Amino acid sequence: MKVRELGIDGAYAFEPEVFHDERGSFRSPYQEAVYGAALGRPLFPVVQVSTSSSRRRAVRGVHFTATPGSMAKYVLCTGGRALDVVVDVRLGSPTFGRSERVELSPEAGTALYLPPGVGHLFTALEDDTVMVYLLSAAYRADKERAVNPLDPELGLELPGGHARVLSERDRSAPTLAEARDRGLLPRYADCTAAGADGGGR
């Protein structure tokens, strides 16, 4: 398995070896020894596993969780194909405001580790795109936050143009500057402390 540290502080991509034969293929998108060597600790205790299914051009995000209680995520695509965008919305982070794009698919088996407080968006590149999220904390509506994915300051350049499919929540979400002014963004120091054990509790 290859490990790649993303340009977002604390975020990683894990790219497993894929084995092919006449039956199909096999891959292991999570390997504790490799993860532990990269991050210096095992994966967080998994409190919740969630999945989403999306039509082509659907956009979900930019989502993140507030502190205290911000969650870490381990994300992979098990159907279709997705363009995942990791966005640093943590105030005080050395990579604040930066984003990085990673294509996820079942064929590649690439998975992403996102530390507490880091923003996450994906757009489905095919119909029936299925995403799986291993989470360090249970979903809580009062902790959920969003930044507008079309904010020019973020410059995410998402595919789909006017045919993009967004929820009303994401379409009306504040810009990064508005979220900062309204005190909605998590602080890097709080997120780092929350993620010291790999989770967000």
Selecting among 63, 74, 113, 120, the annotated active-site residue is 63
Active site residue 120: no
How many residues does the structure list for the chain?
A: 201
Q: Transcribe 10-77 into DSSP letters.
A: T-EEEE---EEETTEEE--S--HHHHHHHHSSPPPPP-EEEEEEE-TTBEEEEEEEPSSS---EEEEE
- Would residue 63 show up in a list of annotated catalytic residues for this protein? yes
Residue from 12, 74, 113, 133 carrying the catalytic annotation: 133
Burial class, 98, CB count within 10 angstroms (exposed 0-12 / middle 13-18 / buried 19+):
middle
The catalytic residues are: 63, 133
